[in-house]
Chain A
Amino acid sequence: MTARDRIARWSFWAMLRKEFIQMRRDRLTLALLIGVPTIQLILFGYAIQTEVRHLPTVVLDESRSPESRRLVQAMLNTGNFDLSRMVRDREEMASVIARGQARAGIVIPPDFERDLKRGRPATAQIVVDAADPLAASSAISGAGLAGAVRSQELAAARGVAAAINVRVRPWYNPAMRSAVYIVPGIIGVLLSMTMIIIASIAIVRERERGTLEQLIVTPIGKTSLMLGKIIPFMLVGYVQVTVILLLGRLLFDVPVTGNLSTLYLAAFPFIVASLAIGLFVSTLVTTQAQAMQLGFLFMLPNILLSGFMFPREAMPALAQWIGAALPLTYFLRVLRGILLRGTGLADLWPEMAVLAGFSILLIGLSVRRFHKTVE
């Protein structure tokens, strides 16, 4: 084996070993890597839950009867609706919701109590601003619950079945998405954020500490140097996935419909792609502060345009194009597919191929951009 082969082979392992030792010894970083996502998941998760409760709601009570008041009260009691005010007619209700002053409307028709008294099923209607799918699903479940509760009470008191129907009219976004939709996305958002940030500061930190100069006068190859630096972080990524999954299950009851090992396998190209973004960032900056700022720059499009919070189909073309350039967009499909619909690898390979493509492209670009000089 020539000196060149020996160096190429073993310098990579030396690099890898050093990074693992440093990572293990850096308790603060490790705590931050696992602790911060945990805190964010809890805050994020509960914020989403509180947000969909207490929807500002207007009430149009055309029945003006004791029964209608009881149903409205039952709905408010679910905690999903907060009464903003009573409205006089449907036009007023529509304009209040259109202006965003209320996000739901409860409509009790004039013949509500009369129908109940005659033993006929009475109908109430919930109008909901479904532009926010979470709000909509919260309204549906709250209304359904209240309707069922009142029905049961009436049934017990009078011996009639299925007394009240609650009909939901989702406005603005009739194809509603469910609440669990957003929680798996948190795995992707947090994972991409931490991977990008830690990879982006990895090389810059050596520059700031003055060890990079010593490192680049050694004969290690550029690719070995860069891969040796980021590979240990893959482990961190998997620890994070596990922490978030466990917490998601414990705190928010996120279902795991599909196969867990499929999920871990599918996470691989995404973790690499996110690290590759960080690596690329590190070739553009000279200080850790700059690296952090540039890393955070990815946060906003990741949250807004990847389909994490808002459906991509409803976005203007430009936003869709930007979204298509984000690895998170593809990983969200993978995550939701596996966690919510139980999709297998056979259906997810196009997304995974795109993520692998991102990884190769970005690592290649980073290696090209990185020079073993101090200029």
Chain B
Amino acid sequence: MSGPTPDSLGIVTHGLRKTFGAMVAVEGLDLEVARGEIFGLLGPNGSGKTTTIRMLTGLLEPTAGSALVVGVDVVKTPELVRRRIGYMSQRYGLYDDLTVQENLEFYAGMYGLVGDERRRRVATQFAEYGLGSRAGQLAGTLSGGWKQRLALASATTHAPELVFLDEPTAGVDPAARRHFWTMIHRRAKAGMTVLVTTHYMDEAEQCDRLAFLSRGHLIGVGTPKEITARFGLPTVEDVFIELQRRDEGEAA
């Protein structure tokens, strides 16, 4: 057998499945994400993106199937995975009543960073994310763009090998989104694997590879070019709209 070994991959899933009662959220998902790759997970609301991320972070136990994240079985040993990954949930996960600095230090501490090392890493994050001027500001008083910036910084202070970003730029203005993606590219270049979900097609075009989910099924994986070529459509957005149309046609 040729091909990449599990350890050289950021994520490998086989037949990953999740049902909530009679509702099938994710069905037989086979996914491979290479290390250092920016991998976009696309699909309409309710297509299973968040459920997939939650299974890959150990927040949900799969009904069936297996998943290796950074080479570790996340179903059997979620804690071993957790210390090596970062996660930005769809629901803004920062503490409004803590300052920017306190939020960063708190999450650094949760990953066992302490003393000089923590100070050094937090200082690096301040510099890299341009948060220095906001250090003493309560997170709750930040604007949307700054909140997302802080959330990404908090999720990566411990230098994770892989980071899950669940609609990280929802409701953020274009300038802030562009800055956000600059940071993601910089991190990816440094070797961090990124799995991101988004509804913005300009962001999707920036991913190395994309996967389309529709009602829990994986219906297409490839680079943005491959995807558009396969569907014979000019842009990823057209593909997305076409898929959503088919989805609704099936549902009707």
Give A residues with C-beta under 8 Å from B. Answer: 3-4, 6-11, 13-15, 17-18, 21-22, 25-26, 209-211, 213-221, 372-375
Contacts and interface: CB of A to CB of B under 8 A. Distances in A.
A374 B113 CA distance: 25
Listed residue (B57, B87, B102, B112) with the most chain A CB atoms within 10 angstroms of its CB: B112
Contact of A3 (B97, B112, B114): B112
A26 B140 CA distance: 13
Interface string B81-104: 011010111011111111000100
Contacts of B79: 219, 221
Contact of B59 (A14, A26, A211, A374): A374
Contacts of B87: 214, 217
Name the 4 nearest CB pairs between A and B, nearest first: A14-B109, A214-B93, A210-B91, A7-B112
A18 B93 contact: no
Interface SS of chain B: helix, strand, loop or mixed? loop
A126 B246 CA distance: 91
B162 to A, nearest CB: 12
A96 B214 CA distance: 80
Interface of B: 54, 57-61, 78-79, 82-83, 85, 87-89, 91-98, 102, 105-114
Given A14-B106, A18-B98, A372-B78, A7 B111 contact: yes
13 contacts: A3-B83, A7-B83, A7-B111, A9-B112, A10-B112, A15-B109, A18-B102, A213-B59, A214-B89, A217-B87, A218-B111, A219-B110, A221-B79
B120 to A, nearest CB: 15
Contacts of A220: 110
Given A3-B83, A375-B60, A219 B112 contact: yes
Contact of A25 (B85, B97, B112, B114): B97
Contacts of B97: 21-22, 25-26
Given A21-B98, A210-B91, A374-B54, A217 B112 contact: no
Contacts, number: 94
A228 to B, nearest CB: 10
A63 B40 CA distance: 101
A318 to B, nearest CB: 39
Given A7-B111, A219-B112, A373 B93 contact: no
B46 to A, nearest CB: 17
Contacts of A216: 59
A323 to B, nearest CB: 40
Contact of A11 (B85, B93, B111): B111
Contacts of A211: 93-95
A11 B112 contact: yes
B110 A210 contact: no
Contact of A210 (B83, B92, B114): B92
Nearest to A18: B106
Given A25-B97, A374-B54, A11 B110 contact: yes
Contacts of A21: 97-98, 102
Listed residue (A7, A11, A18, A217) with the most chain B CB atoms within 10 angstroms of its CB: A217
B109 A22 contact: no
A82 B66 CA distance: 79
A254 B79 CA distance: 52
Nearest to B103: A18
A217 B82 contact: yes
